[in-house]
Chain A
Amino acid sequence: MNAIGWPDWRRLNQEGIVFAIAILLFAAAALGLPGFLTADNLVAIVRSVSVLGILALGMAVVIIGRGIDLSAVAIMAMSVAWYLQLLNTGTSDGLAFVYVLAGVLAIGLLNGFLVAYADVPAIFVTLATGSFVFGYVRSQLITQDAVPVPGGHWVELLGGVRFLDIPVEVFVFAGLAFLVFLFLRYTKWGRFIYFAGDNPVAARNIGVPVRPMLVLRYVLSAFVALIAGLLTAASLHSINTRIVNSTLLYDIVLVAVIGGIGLSGGRGGVRNVLVGAALIGILLNAMTIIDIPLLYQNLIKAAILLGAIIVDGIINPRDEQTAQQGDI
């Protein structure tokens, strides 16, 4: 905004564009689609992107620090599948949870260690650990693709929890978004993530513990994935590990990137994730109401992403700094 309150078009960026598209879509759907603008449907929209949004929060923290975590979906599905398998074969709840938590943190640490101390590019490390987690858990620890939640277990009960008729996922998503916002904005380590993402060498020179913080980010991302997995199992009463082969990982990166978190690091925040999730949520909901087949849904999703990237490229041309550092 400038002095007289008009939007300053020069400051328009991808986040703004996507937000505008989301508002337009929302308005069009509210006018054109009966039943869109009901409280229940709005809750359903937020709910349908809650798990995706939670995963995107973890991914956002990693991307802002100039990295990427391609193992998130594997960690999400396989940790919870293993947990449920342990429960189904009679391991006590506490012990099973300790095992799984230890496993999840170990993978996060391994990701972080390999990226931070062994200097292997994040994209290769997490691609490999994701495949490893999937392969190991699927072949050694569980017996089939879908693992049901034992009847009466707290994960099953969690799925039915409502406040004011709003499902628990929505609150978890909102709560985590607020926590990540506080962490990124108001803590020293949160600010350091931006420094490290923007220019790791300079950050290191001014005394930021760049490497331990890198490890921390991957551990956080793994932990967030576990939460997302538990919520998925809670609402479906089972977890299907087939999700590892789905487009979910693509959608997570899509939500983060479409909202305006640059893959070159150092830019963006929780607001971008919320904007990205809002667009995807409204889009999917409206397309389902109109009954558009999935093939076309994917096409439309991809076209909007492409459009946003192209417009962003025109409005924010690559500068010398990005040219030197390169995108992912």
Chain B
Amino acid sequence: MKLLRTLMAAATALAVTAFVAPSFAADDPGPAAYAKSLNGKRVMLVPLAMGFDLAQGWAHYLKKEVEAWGGTFETRDPNWVVDAGAQAITDAIASDTRPDVLIIHAPDLNSYSKLMKKAQAAGTYVLLVDNPANFPADAFVGSDWDKLGQLEAEAAIKGCGENSSKKIGLVQGDQANSSSLYQYAGIMKVLEKHPDFQVVAKPDSNWDATTSRNVTTTMLQQHPDICSIIDFWDGDATGASAAIRDAKLDGKVFLVTTGGGEKAADCDKLVDGTYGAVVMTDLARQSGDMNAVIKFLLQSGQPAGTSHTYIYTLEKATTKADLKPDSCWDLKALQAEAAAK
């Protein structure tokens, strides 16, 4: 009896579904709701500067998506000057066309905290990208720098090998930027587990290639048997690689760095042996994550500053051996695509 009832109920349900479904398909409320929440919304990106691969890549992918869902996308270029970035954010909040979403690439842990709070108070969602800051943003999208440092250290240990000098040199960024500080912490976590490996020097480059070259030259002079160097960014690792080349230690020192996964900056240099391993950001996916969070926040109806989500980009240390055709994205191709429009 019970079975019969269940069967009947199932049959009825099936019939109802079969009958109703076509009208559902013709009248999906999704697109209308989506358009209603997103149309005309403004998204603004304030990176450290617009003139380098990461910012140009983010801007490319974000613009494409935001404009496709009917929003407007703008960028501001502080050109590595913290004050100019602060000014841009202040102006954006105060303007008539206040952005609904502000994507900020923080220069250090604290500089923009007050401004970001102000933006949230005005009703703007704040997304932090790439660099963490001491501020509860609506979402953080980017690298887990601690984990990234661990990946680098593991790559360096592997690059050195068991029968090497086991001496590792670091070329840090600076002592204020979260990406440098957390990267360092991550590297040290791994090295603690490998007590036979030691860090013989850890100068700062201040993110400048010439400084990186000078300190690496000195480092190699002091410790010619270093088997691996971790330079904290591909932008200044060109300096470290020049020093290695000058010291005629190409192929003997395994250079590990991190980068935005741009072809000329990373993949080409893995191919020609300049870098041994690069922990690369999957930029298209990272931009996609940002866009997903933006779309979610704008539809959620929740006030700015009420959620704190962390979305870490999946990363791995890429070497020449595991390069694939799609390992990198090509800035020149993106620029050509933008110019063709």
| Contact, CB under 8 Å: A145 / B201 | no
Write the nearest CB–CB distance from A158 to chain B, whole angstroms. 13
A43→B315 CA distance, assembly (Å) = 40
Assess whether A264 is interfacial by the CB under 8 Å rule.
Answer: no
Q: Are B221 and A35 in contact (CB under 8 A)?
A: yes
> What separation, in Å, do the CA atoms of A145 and B207 have in the docked complex?
13
Interface status of A293 (Cβ within 8 A of chain B): yes
Residues of chain A lying within 8 A (CB to CB) of residue B81: 245
Number of B interface residues in the complex (CB < 8 A): 36
Contact B209 A236 (CB under 8 A): yes
Within 8 A of B (CB), among A1-55: 34-35, 38, 40-41, 44, 47-48, 51
- The stretch of A121-129, A207-215, A281-289 in contact with B is A281-289
The verdict on B235 contacting chain A, using a C-beta distance below 8 Å, is yes
Whether B39 is near chain A, meaning CB under 8 Å from some CB there, is: no
- B51–chain A nearest beta-carbon distance, Å: 4
- Residues of B contacting A143 with CB < 8 Å? 335
Contact residues in A for B219 (Cβ distance below 8 Å)? 288
Q: Which residues in window 244-281 of A have CB below 8 A to B?
A: 245-246
Q: Does A167 contact B (CB under 8 A)?
A: yes
Contacting pair A235 B51 (CB below 8 A): no
Task: From the candidates B175, B203, B210, name the one contacting A288 in the complex (CB within 8 A).
Answer: B203
B319 within 8 A of A: no
Min Cβ gap A133→B in Å is 14
A243 to B236: give the CA distance in the assembly, Å: 11
CB of A221 closer than 8 Å to a CB of B: no
Chain B 202-214: CB-based contact to A (< 8 A → 1; otherwise 0): 1110111110011
Tell me whether B80 is interfacial, beta carbon within 8 Å.
Answer: yes
Known interface pairs A41-B221, A44-B221, A245-B81; A291-B201 also in contact (CB < 8 Å): yes
Is B108 interfacial (CB-CB < 8 Å)? no
- Is the pair B222, A241 in contact by a Cβ cutoff of 8 Å? no
A299 to B: closest C-beta gap in Å: 12
CB of A243 within 8 A of CB of B210, answer yes
- Residues of A within 8 Å of B235, CB to CB, are 146, 240, 242
Whether A237 and B80, one on each chain, are in contact in the complex, defined by CB atoms closer than 8 angstroms, is no
Q: A284 CA to B208 CA in the complex, in Å?
A: 15
Q: Which listed residue (B80, B202, B214) contacts A48, Cβ 8 A? A: B214
DSSP majority for the B interface? Answer: helix
The secondary structure that dominates the A interface is helix
Contact with A along B150-175 (1 / 0, CB 8 A): 00000000000000000000000011
Q: Which A-chain residue is minimally distant from B219 (CB atoms)?
A: A288
Cβ-defined contact, A235 with B222, below 8 A: no
Q: How far is the CB of A192 from chain B (nearest CB, A)?
A: 35
In the assembled complex, A138 has its CB within 8 A of some CB on chain B: yes
Q: Which residues of the partner chain B approach A200 to less than 8 Å between Cβ atoms?
A: none
- State whether A293 touches B222 (Cβ < 8 A): no
- Whether, in the assembled complex, B242 has its beta carbon less than 8 Å from a beta carbon of chain A, the answer is yes
Contact A242 B49 (CB under 8 A): yes
Which among B202, B207, B239 is the interface contact of A236 at CB below 8 angstroms?
B239
Taking A41-B218, A242-B49, A291-B203 as known contacts, 18 extra A-B pairs with beta carbons closer than 8 A to each other, sorted by chain A number, are A38-B221, A41-B221, A44-B218, A44-B221, A143-B335, A144-B51, A145-B49, A145-B51, A145-B52, A146-B238, A148-B264, A235-B246, A242-B80, A246-B206, A288-B218, A293-B204, A294-B206, A295-B175
Enumerate chain B interface residues (CB-CB to A < 8 A).
Answer: 49, 51-53, 56, 79-81, 174-175, 201-204, 206-210, 213-215, 217-219, 221-222, 235, 238-239, 242, 245-246, 264, 331, 335
